[in-house]
Amino acid sequence: MAAPAAVLHSEWVKIRTVRSTGWTLAMAFLVTVAFGVLLSALTNSRFDDLSKQDQLTFDAAGTSFAGGVLGQLAMIAFGVMVVGSEYSTGMIRTSLAAVPQRGALYFAKLAVASASALVVATVTSFAAFFAGQSVLGSHSTSLGEPHVLRATLCAALYMTLIALFSMGVAMMLRSSMLAMGILMPLFFLVTQILVTVPGAKKVAHYFPDQAGQAMTRVVQNDDTPYGPWGGLAIMALWVAAAVIGGLAVFRGRDA
């Protein structure tokens, strides 16, 4: 039986030595911060054009985190590649030969990748917040204001959870291409369309990205039937379902 520390170390070596995983984490940081700064600057320049209601309910922190819409796609790519790359290269057979205990291998992979994602997501979240607030001028807020620190930490947690969710999905599908082909349109297009359709909006509110947006808000959206902690609970359920499904498939099928 492989020692847990050795399994964790081997998974860390895999992530550290595969160039694409590092690039996707770097892209998650860059696009989240850059898009958040851009939107914050545009909002500041056009703030007086907003309706009185929009000005009163303006969420300065949430504006900084708007880049997460694109950053989550990079985190999805990271999660998918952590799992899918071993299947595409055939390295999964070598990994199983070294660590026959599939549960230990699976959870070591999730633990190391999630820890890496959490570090990058936390740095990204705080960088996006401070960069966005720096260009919002008189409309900015601070971490000391009510719920702002919670929203900043939840922004980091959401990016981590979406990577973990993607790993579970990729393990179920055992294909990077298939997983990306499903997850990318789901998060970038499908839910964005469904929330604009009156009949489908109630269902779309419970999709992972919508739950993530609720987690990062300081000013709550009246259209969303739950708050930040409800969003966290919904996101946790999605992640648990994906992780458990991935484990069941990993244990039940040949490599």
pLDDT in tens, 38-66: 999 999 999 988 888 888 889 999 999 99
Residue 195 inside a domain? The answer is yes
* CA distance linking residue 217 with residue 201, whole number of Å: 19
Contact indicator for 119, 25 with CB cutoff of 8 Å: no
Q: The tokens of 60 are what?
A: 């300065």
Query: Taking the model in full, what pTM does it have?
Result: 0.93
Whose tokens are 């973990």? That residue is 164
Contact indicator for 166, 179 with CB cutoff of 8 Å: yes
The range of the structural domain enclosing residue 148 comes to 4-250
Q: The tokens of 223 are what?
A: 């259209």
Q: Which helix (H) or strand (E) holds 228?
A: helix 228-252
Distant-in-sequence, close-in-space partners of 81: CB < 8 Å, separation ≥ 6: 18, 20, 21, 24, 176
* CA distance linking residue 115 with residue 23, whole number of Å: 16
Any idea what DSSP says for residue 99?
-
| Mean pLDDT, residues 83-99 | 83
Residue 140 inside a domain? The answer is yes
Lowest-confidence pick of 148-152, 216-220, 243-247: 216-220
* CA distance linking residue 54 with residue 74, whole number of Å: 30
Contact indicator for 164, 80 with CB cutoff of 8 Å: no
**Most confidently modeled range among 4-18, 163-177, 184-198:** 163-177
Report residue 28 CA to chain centroid gap.
Answer: 9
| pLDDT tens track for 120-170 | 999 999 999 999 999 999 999 999 999 999 999 999 999 999 999 999 999
Report residue 238 CA to chain centroid gap.
Answer: 12
Residue 57 inside a domain? The answer is yes
Query: Would the pLDDT of 227 be above 60?
Result: yes
Contact indicator for 70, 35 with CB cutoff of 8 Å: yes
Residue 255 inside a domain? The answer is no
Q: Which amino acid is at 156?
A: A
Residue 189 inside a domain? The answer is yes
Q: The tokens of 194 are what?
A: 């469904």
* CA distance linking residue 244 with residue 250, whole number of Å: 10
Give the percent of the chain with pLDDT over 70: 98
Query: Would the pLDDT of 255 be above 70?
Result: no
* Residue predicted with more confidence, 77 or 11: 77
Contact indicator for 111, 8 with CB cutoff of 8 Å: yes
Total of domains in the chain:
1
* Residue predicted with more confidence, 211 or 222: 211
